Homo-oligomer: A and B are copies of this chain.
Amino acid sequence: MNKVIDIILQMRRLDGELPKREQRVADFVLANLEQAAYLRQSEIARAAGVSDATVNRFCISLGCEGFRDFKIRLTQSVAVSLQYLGGPGNDNSVSDQLVVQVFGALVDTLNLVRQQLDSEAIEAAIDLLAGARRIAFFGVGGGSANVAREGANRFFRLGVPAEAHADGYFQRMLASTLDKGDLVFAISQSGSPAELLDSVAIAKQYGVKSISLTKRGSELAHATDVAIEIDIPEDHDIYKPSASRLAYIAIIDVLAAGTARRRPEQVKEYLRRIRTSLVPLSSDPGPKPIGD
């Protein structure tokens, strides 16, 4: 999949320069883009009034390897085009618009974040997380505190003792009780809260490693052993909540998934136990999300 040439564009570009019968194929395909992907070579041939062979040559004229290749590219191009054209969208009501806006912003933010992720930092973080005996997630303020809780929740399920704290004093106190082998995971979008900086510094005194999830180049990023640095443009439409928290949680998902893969057997067992412990609480015996 080296270069993706848009096949529809290609057809338009070669329009007029193709042999007569091949041109008829092009005309037919362009006029029936949506259905074309579902048709077989012979059906297209018949519909365009030419032979199978001509259809095949047409594909090759377009730069494809054959009909198969052509069909794949056409399907892709059409799918993408329809995407832009909004498919079965009914953007009538106000709430539909809202949904489109909010979800669109989320997806955009996720993309933005994905591009910024540094795989080395991610892997270094997973190394630390997978080896940690105990993980303390620290976040301050409504948003980051919740991300911290989410992190604790995720890792707790992997069998690592994990806890989250939002209180500055408690964070400092806890940090001073940690020991080598433990890990501090500090979360802050601003990267400057004194609570977190202090906690990380205190922990470091006792040989405790630290990871931060924060703004690029922030104080907190410098202070920690591994920094996952992400810049998220704040949306200034104050009626639209920021997508940054979602992005942070997504990153924690990545870390949790990575950690789980490092210790597959353990994780399987812990999840099984947690699942088992929840069974009596529910009447539905089917597979369910763990812990609601």
- For A95, A117, A143, A267, the residue with the greatest tally of chain B CB atoms inside 10 Å of its CB is A95
Q: How far is the CA of A149 from the CA of B253 in the complex (A)?
A: 19
Copies in the assembly, this chain = 2
Give the residues in chain B near A280, CB-CB below 8 Å: none
Give Cα A5–Cα B122 distance, bound, in whole angstroms. Answer: 34
In whole angstroms, what is the CA distance A149 to B289 when docked? 19
Q: Is A9 an interface residue (CB 8 A)?
A: no
Interchain CB contact under 8 A, A192 and B284: yes
Docked Cα-Cα span, A102 to B253, in Å, equals 7
CB-CB under 8 A from A258, the residues of chain B are 94-95, 98
A4 to B72: give the CA distance in the assembly, Å.
17
User: Which residues of B are found within 8 Å of A93, using beta-carbon distances?
Assistant: 119, 123
Q: Is the CB of B119 within 8 A of A96?
A: yes
Q: Given A250-B246, A260-B238, A291–B143 Cβ distance below 8 Å?
A: yes
Minimal Cβ-Cβ distance residue in B for A84: B107
- Write the chain B residue with the least CB distance to A87: B4
A144 CB to closest chain B CB (Å) equals 5
Q: Indicate if A257 sits at the interface (CB-CB under 8 A).
A: yes
Which of A23-31, A53-61, A134-142, A170-178 is the contact stretch?
A134-142
Interface-side segment among A44-52, A108-116, A198-206:
A108-116
Tell me the A155-189 residues at the B interface (CB within 8 Å): 156-157, 188-189
**Residues in B whose Cβ lies below 8 Å from that of A268:** 238
Q: Which of A74-110 contact B (CB under 8 A)?
A: 75-80, 83-89, 93-96, 98-103, 106-107, 110
User: In the complex the two chains form, what is the Cα distance from A87 to B284 in whole Å?
Assistant: 41
Beyond A142-B156, A190-B282, A292-B188, whether A239 also contacts B253 by CB under 8 A is no
B87 touches A99 (CB 8 A): no
Q: A35: which B residues are within 8 A, CB to CB?
A: 1
**A273 CB-CB contact with B under 8 Å:** no
Cβ of A261 within 8 Å of any chain B Cβ, yes or no, is yes
C-alpha gap A193/B94 in the complex (Å): 33
With A257-B240, A268-B238 already in contact, the answer to whether A110 and B114 are too (CB < 8 A) is no
Extra contacts, 15 of them, besides A103-B250, A243-B253 (Cβ < 8 A), are A1-B35, A4-B88, A75-B79, A77-B79, A79-B80, A93-B123, A94-B123, A142-B291, A146-B146, A146-B149, A146-B150, A146-B153, A192-B284, A234-B289, A236-B287
Q: List 13 A-B contacts (CB under 8 A).
A: A75-B75, A77-B79, A80-B80, A84-B111, A89-B114, A98-B254, A101-B257, A107-B107, A142-B156, A142-B291, A192-B284, A241-B256, A246-B253
